[in-house]
Structure 1
Amino acid sequence: MRIVANGIGIEIDDQGPPGGEPVLLIMGLGMQLVAWPEEMVQALVAHGFRVIRLDNRDIGLSQHFDHLGVPSIAAGAVRHTLGLAVASPYSLADMAQDAVGVLDALGIAQAHVCGASMGGMIAQHLAAKHPQRVKSLVLMMTTSGARHLPQPNWRVRGVLLSRPASAAPMAVVQHLEALLRVIGSPGYPPDPERQRARLLATVQRSWHPTGTARQLLAVVADGDRSALLPQISAPTRVIHGLADPLVRVEAGRDLVQRIRGAQGDFVPGMGHDLPLALLPRFVDGIAENAAR
């Protein structure tokens, strides 16, 4: 269902009892709302939550921003490395305002918020700048962006910036499979058939790499969010894989140290994905944090 939020078209999925405690799930870079597994959604619904997923702007079935052009990621990376300001077509703060707009459109005053990767960066802006809208906060495999934190190695960076051989759906699926082999959870290898079916359904729903590029530039331009973190007052849980090669576990520990009262759940064998076997642990973590 597409709604108007913050003046733009945002695709959402809204499941669970209308009177249930709302949980807003915000996904990461280039990822659509369907990247939150249906099994996780149904488990949250079984806890009595109303679960709202959204396609971030420029991705999936939400409004695209192709009129803003294709940014130069290389130029943005160079400026970031040199400590210079990076301009982006829109910001993570704009995307946080989209999330507020979703809550407004649905008539929700407060929600439990869970963000993964880039979605966790957006959630940091949301919780810091709109504290009255965030009842509790879960940050999964994400970072403050502080410069002292370790970065992914060149192999991981290379696969992240690689492109599929063509735009044909199966070529894109093979590209995504290769990416997940590098950044996924070594302790929880996926069922290949399930993963391929999910990836193919995702690509057939939408494949918009120029939107991913603009989102990536927004991440680079956002820089260090450390100054935001003391402003977060919602009960916070940080979930991070000890084996995450993309956003290293030191980033999760840094968030726990910087956010007042934050609790950490550091998961052995978990990389930068949402393994099926760990979904009950994630759901229990969201529910326990919401109860705080």
Structure 2
Amino acid sequence: MMDVGGRSLRVAHWRLDMPTDHPPILFFNGIGANIEAVAPLAEMLTERGFVMFDMPGTGESPDPMMPYNTFTMSWTASQVLRRLGIPTVDVMGVSWGGAMAQHFALQHPGKTRRLVLVATTAGMLMVPGNPAALTKMADPRRYIDRDFMNEHFTTLYGGVDRDGASHQKDSHIGRLKPPSPRGYMYQLIAMLGWTSLPALPFMSKETLVMMGDEDQIVPLINGKILASAIPNARLEVFAGGGHLFLLTHADEAVGSLRKFLNSPATDAESRRAA
């Protein structure tokens, strides 16, 4: 637990004391998701540090006392990095967290080296997903009822698993802890009216946009919009990937992530570093 920015947050980090040539990843999770849901990804990236935290009212972080927005939580995240002694990070976010990652990179360009956006959108100006998936996503049983998750997994998240859908369904629901009602509501409120689209042409960071072509919640067209709006962006599409392709296509996704993050610095990045 870390008291930072007037909030108490549960913070997790991996390998920050390990010698490495790579900056750590600052990861922003999906709405309502706790640290454990993405811990397998952090554990697979053995060559670099990894930092994430439970948003207020999710996981083990206490309920927020008042609503917050993308600006205040980006500032709070920067204070977490300061407390951990981290000057620069590669910023990554999935779904709701992808919006946070965009805002952090725009608000704190000096702390951001590269940006990875996974199954996400430019905010309110998005192409909506499958109504059947969105309706079931709003049902809190998806966090606590294994049978509900397994029955509606494909409708909710789309795509198929590389090594068997049943295994991944069970492992995903087993790592989820339901957010508090206030925590979930405040996460929704934080994005009301928010869009990054007018600012994306000014995003100077090398960016990887990762999308699944069977995502029922965030259709692929949203990734195409992001990649076309960000000057230094590239789009990678995962065939058969749903909203959770980071987990269901883990080896493929981590390989793509490594290729992007470990590639040599561009001329623009070298000039900025100098």
Structure 1 contact 57–95 (Cα < 8 Å) conserved: no
Map of 2:60 onto structure 1? 61
Structure 2 contact 33–179 (Cα < 8 Å) conserved: no
Q: Within the alignment, does 1:268 sit opposite 2:239 as a pair?
A: yes
Q: Within the alignment, does 1:186 sit opposite 2:146 as a pair?
A: no
Give aligned-pair identity as a percent: 23
Q: Over residues 189-240 of structure 1, what are the superposed CA-to-partner deviations in whole Å (9 max), with x where a residue is unaligned?
A: 754355335423433xx54233112211222x14322122123222100000
SS of equivalent to 2:154: helix
Q: Within the alignment, does 1:108 sit opposite 2:83 as a pair?
A: no
1:157 to 134, 142, 152: 134
Q: Which amino acid aligns with 1:30?
A: G
Provide structure 2 residue ranges, at least 5 long, that are not aligned to the other structure: 266-274
Map of 1:248 onto structure 2? 219
Structure 1 contact 4–105 (Cα < 8 Å) conserved: no
Map of 1:213 onto structure 2? 185
Q: In the aligned structure 1, how far is the partner of 2:122 from the partner of 2:114?
A: 18
Q: In the aligned structure 1, how far is the partner of 2:127 from the partner of 2:33?
A: 24
Q: In the aligned structure 2, how far is the partner of 1:134 from the partner of 1:125?
A: 11
- TM-score, normalising length: structure 2: 0.85
Q: In the aligned structure 2, how far is the partner of 1:63 from the partner of 1:95?
A: 15
Q: Over residues 231-256 of structure 1, what are the superposed CA-to-partner deviations in whole Å (9 max), with x where a residue is unaligned?
A: 32221000001111111111100000
Q: How does 1:1-292 map to 2 (within 5 A)?
A: 2-18=1-17, 19-20=19-20, 21-38=23-40, 40-45=41-46, 48-65=47-64, 67-68=65-66, 89-145=67-123, 147=125, 149-164=126-141, 172-178=145-151, 180-188=153-161, 191-193=165-167, 195-203=169-177, 207-219=179-191, 221-274=192-245, 276-290=247-261, 291=263, 292=265
Distance 1:96 1:34, change over 3 A: same
Map of 1:73 onto structure 2? none
- TM-score, normalising length: structure 1: 0.80
**Highest RCO, 1 vs 2 (Cα 8 Å, sep ≥ 6):** 1
Distance 1:194 1:139, change over 3 A: closer
Q: In the aligned structure 2, how far is the partner of 1:243 from the partner of 1:274?
A: 9
Distance 1:107 1:179, change over 3 A: farther
| Residue correspondences, number | 259
Provide structure 1 residue ranges, at least 5 long, that are not aligned to the other structure: 69-88
Q: In the aligned structure 1, how far is the partner of 2:87 from the partner of 2:140?
A: 41
Structure 1 contact 3–12 (Cα < 8 Å) conserved: yes
Moved more, 173-182 or 236-245: 173-182
The alignment yields a C-alpha RMSD, in angstroms, of 2.3
Q: In the aligned structure 1, how far is the partner of 2:90 from the partner of 2:170?
A: 31
Q: In the aligned structure 2, how far is the partner of 1:36 from the partner of 1:253?
A: 24
Structure 1 contact 139–239 (Cα < 8 Å) conserved: yes
